[in-house]
Amino acid sequence: MTPPSLPSGSQSPSDRLGATALQVPARLMLVEEAEQCLPGHSFETLQVMLEQDHVLHVELHHPEKRIAVNMAFWREMVECFQDVGQDSSCHATVISGAGKCFMAGIDLMGMGSEFMMVEGEDRARKAWNLCRKICEYQETFSVLEKCPKPVIAAVHGACVGAGVDLISACDIRYCAQDAWFQEVDIGLVADVGTLQHLPKIMGSWRVPVPTGSPSLAHSRVFADKEMLLQRALEAATTIAARSSVAVQGTKVNLLCSWDHPVPKSLRYVATWNMSMLQTEDILKSVQVAMEKKGPEDVPFSKL
């Protein structure tokens, strides 16, 4: 039985990776010049500007919410970059975040019910519907990879969760010195592109250890054995405090991605998460995050 089909349609800062929560703006109007490039489109979560001849600037908007991903974002990204790909006057695109950061992850308040209250009479049907939903969300970032125009990510401040998925699908990534990255803190395996793109972007030795700490994203050298063991144990402790469902699932999917093309790896993680997203670890992690606590405060079950 095959899962539902996809719908048609350092170091430098860029090496520091590791999950947090976010959302995006109220109504935004395209500037007059950009309307000539993307006729008839205005977006709730994106602002499109013609910066100079043949160069579009797509800005993730809603700075008052720190660019947290809401429901409209998933649809509008696909609409926007499908149009960008077909626009003969656009030769390249830059994507950035408005306000103090690039993207703060998913708006937990706005999107929590998407995964906490999945339709279905039993677990099998809930899993099937989850798989279909994941495949739809994957297209939000796959559209960047499919776009024939080069897409450059300009990252500053926090780039969390879905933000990491987004930039991993871009062709080029530029970062400000204050850029930082985080991925695994709410009890789930990243399933919309990060694990499939990172091994190919960075090489296996630079792919981050599956923790929430951006400082653990790269190999490190220490002055002596004492410091070496201290930091190694700190890293192990950080990993151990995370959801085992998320950490072990991340490793499984990274290994799959290393030996398989991106589309096949995306299908694999969608099939994986159709069951794993039903874990209680997610709800526990969200509750702790709302209380401004860390993953080490979550009473995860053994695995």
Q: First and final CA of the chain: distance in angstroms? A: 27
198 and 207 Cβ atoms separated by less than 8 Å = yes
pLDDT for 179 beyond 60? yes
250 and 158 Cβ atoms separated by less than 8 Å = no
Strands 158-160 and 55-60, sheet pairing = unpaired
Q: Which residues contact 22 (CB under 8 A, 6 or more apart)?
A: 65, 66, 67, 68, 69, 103, 104, 105, 106, 107, 160, 161, 162, 163
Domains, in order of start, for the chain: 13-297 (3.90.226.10)
pLDDT for 177 beyond 70? yes
pLDDT for 113 beyond 70? no
Measured from the Cβ of residue 150, the count of other Cβ atoms closer than 10 Å reads 12
Phi, psi for residue 151 in degrees, rounded to 5:
-120, 120
pLDDT for 271 beyond 80? yes
**What are 153's strand-pairing partners?**
95, 173
pLDDT band for position 38 (50/70/90)? Answer: low
Percent of the chain with pLDDT over 70: 71
Cα–Cα distance, 130 to 113 (Å, whole number) = 12
Cα–Cα distance, 192 to 136 (Å, whole number) = 9
Q: pLDDT tens digit string along 223-255? A: 766 776 687 678 777 777 788 788 888 888 888
Q: pLDDT tens digit string along 13-32? A: 333 333 333 333 332 334 44
208 or 246, which is more confident? 246
152 and 94 Cβ atoms separated by less than 8 Å = yes
pLDDT for 215 equals 40
Cα–Cα distance, 216 to 210 (Å, whole number) = 9
Is the Cα torsion angle 276, 277, 279, 285 positive or negative in sign? positive
